[in-house]
Amino acid sequence: MSKIQHLFDSSGDWLGFRIGKNVYNSDADWVAWLPWGDDDVVTTDGDYLGTITNGNRLYHFSSKPYRGYPGYPGYPGYPGYPGYPGFAGYSPLPFGARDVTMPKPE
């Protein structure tokens, strides 16, 4: 199994986690993925969600150019619940960024 990377907003609140190229919300629902091999995260519908910065922060940058539809990777299955990682502490937002609201599956 791949290593779990917990993701937080600028306030240090836990948003969810990443396993490999897949991103899950705090309820362990698969909501996004990293299709391009970098730190840009897109929803399962193909919309830009945000970028992972500073190792564990997920921020939305309004200046990101459209990269095209990344396709659909196929459902990765249930990852199991990773447990609550706690509070990460405050981190200032980078210029041009805002906090992400994690999607909930329909």
| Residue 17 counted as domain residue | yes
| Residue 66 counted as domain residue | yes
pLDDT for 1 beyond 80 = no
| Residue 106 counted as domain residue | no
Residue 11's closest CA among 102, 93, 85?
Answer: 93
| Residue 29 counted as domain residue | yes
Per-residue confidence (pLDDT) for residue 20, from 0 to 100: 95
Per-residue confidence (pLDDT) for residue 17, from 0 to 100: 97
Element (H, E) at 57: strand 57-61
The tens digit of pLDDT for each residue in 21-65 reads 999 999 999 999 999 999 999 999 999 999 999 999 999 999 999
Query: What CA–CA distance (Å, rounded) separates 45 from 32?
Result: 8
| Residue 64 counted as domain residue | yes
pLDDT for 2 beyond 90 = no
